[in-house]
Each structure stands twice: as structure tokens, then as C-alpha cells.
């Protein structure tokens, strides 16, 4: 297996193994989820919480969106939507132009879900954040890593276009 490392300004370093044919197994859904206080939350409540956070994002209420998606992840870490909630935290930070927090969030997503559906897009968004911060070398590294790790993804196609523009 190949090991890839991406550093965020020396503050956060992500490494993960890319295994050919490897399969990432996500969380298993249940009808009800127990909280720390033993109260039961239904999946309808989980979906409602996710949708409320997304509604805040659509209204450009990014701090509230971040809080909602983070709460979702804390309460439903094994949900099928946990990876997506992590992604939307990063997108919310990005929309609020807090690129450093967005970078950290996207890096966390790639580490936690290297074979997840949102990992390629998270790497692409990391490159965009680096660009916004005028950190061209790191943007190029993220784009190159994206194309190498996820060559058949839509994000990789977008990365190749952006690489051609940058070169």
C-alpha cells in the first residue's frame, strides 16, 4: 500500500494508506440511537437535525450551520450522513471565508473517510482554500494527490482542469 501525507502549515498532518482494492466500511444505521443520558433519538430526529443545519447554510447563516452539523456528528457519529455532515462543516467554513478552519475540516474528513464519497471533493476544496490563501505549492500538491488517489472521480476531472490552468 502507498502512504500519502499532506501537511497543513505544519499544524496538522494527515497520512493515510491507499490500498488497491481496499474497502472502507462506514457506520451501521439503526432505528434508534442512544445518547449519553440514555434517551433515545430517532433517525427522524437525526434527519431533522441535519436538514436544519443545511437550512442555515442555505440562508448563509454559516456559524449556525457549523454548529448544527457538528452537533449532528457528535450525536450521530455512525450515521450514513456523518461524512456528509463533516463535509458541510468544511463548506460552511469555506463560505464564511475561514479557509484555515475549512482546511482542517476537509483534512479531518479525508483522514476519517479516505474511501468515502466526499473524500475526493474534500481534497479539491482543500486546493481551492490553498489558492485563496495564495499557497500555490500546497494547492498543486492537493490537486496532484487528488488525481493520483481518486482518478475516476468528478473531483479529479475538475482538478485536472485546474492543474492545466495553473501550469
Q: What is the pLDDT of residues 89-138, one digit of tens each?
A: 999 999 999 999 999 999 999 999 999 999 999 999 999 999 999 998 99
Mean pLDDT calculated for residue range 143-163: 94
Is the whole-model pTM more than 0.85?
no
- DSSP for 87-109, please give it: HHHHHHHHHTT-HHHHHHHHHHH
3-class SS shares of the chain: helix, strand, coil, % to 5: 60, 10, 30
pLDDT at site 144 = 93
The chain-wide mean pLDDT, for the chain, equals 79
Nearest Cα to Cα of residue 153 among 125, 112, 130: 125
Q: What is the pLDDT of residues 8-64, one digit of tens each?
A: 444 444 444 433 333 322 222 223 333 444 344 555 688 899 999 999 999 999 999
Amino acid at each position: 500500500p502507498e502512504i500519502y501525507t499532506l501537511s497543513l502549515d505544519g499544524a496538522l498532518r494527515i497520512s493515510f494508506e491507499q490500498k488497491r482494492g481496499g474497502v472502507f466500511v462506514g457506520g451501521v444505521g439503526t432505528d434508534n440511537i442512544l445518547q449519553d443520558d440514555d434517551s433515545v433519538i430517532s433517525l427522524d430526529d437525526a434527519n431533522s437535525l441535519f436538514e436544519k443545519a443545511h437550512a442555515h447554510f442555505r440562508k448563509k447563516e454559516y456559524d449556525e450551520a457549523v454548529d448544527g452539523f457538528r452537533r449532528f456528528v457528535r450525536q450521530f457519529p455512525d450515521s450514513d450522513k456523518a461524512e456528509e455532515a463533516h463535509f458541510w462543516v468544511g463548506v460552511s467554513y469555506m463560505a464564511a471565508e475561514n479557509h484555515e478552519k475549512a482546511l482542517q475540516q476537509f483534512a479531518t474528513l479525508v483522514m476519517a473517510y479516505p474511501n468515502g464519497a466526499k473524500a475526493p471533493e474534500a481534497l479539491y476544496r482543500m486546493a481551492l482554500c490553498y489558492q485563496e490563501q495564495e499557497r500555490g505549492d500546497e494547492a498543486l500538491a492537493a490537486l496532484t494527490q487528488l488525481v493520483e488517489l481518486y482518478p475516476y472521480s468528478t473531483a479529479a476531472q475538475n482538478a485536472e482542469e485546474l492543474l492545466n490552468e495553473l501550469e
